[in-house]
Amino acid sequence: MAMSDLSASECRAWSQCVLNELRKEFSSLQGTVIDIHAGKRYIEYGLEKGLSDAGAIVRRPLARVVGIGTQCKWYRNQLAVVSRE
């Protein structure tokens, strides 16, 4: 499934489903750091706002990294850092 294949209402329903699943899994999201590695369409229908409203700290490491090639390079660099630790 790609978010680009869904209508706006389906995207909102998907976001709500993700939020509901997280609420079931964790007793509280307050202060929880959540890194979202997804494009804007995955968060713009309520996911990021819902997480923030629940007290989570939302980070989007790739928010300013444009293009799949640049994003892949970012991930390779992160793997290199982790392998050196």
Model confidence at 84: pLDDT above 80: no
Which of 10, 11, 7, 62 is closest to 38 using CA atoms? 62
Q: Can you tell me the distance from the alpha carbon of 66 to that of 44, in angstroms, rounded to the nearest whole number? A: 17
Please write the tens of the pLDDT for every residue from 19-58. 999 999 998 999 999 999 888 888 899 999 999 999 999 9
- Start-to-end CA distance of the chain, whole Å, equals 36
Q: What is the pTM for the complete model shown? A: 0.79
Q: In the structure encoding, which two tokens stand for residue 8, read together?
A: 């706006």
Q: Can you tell me the distance from the alpha carbon of 66 to that of 14, in angstroms, rounded to the nearest whole number? A: 24
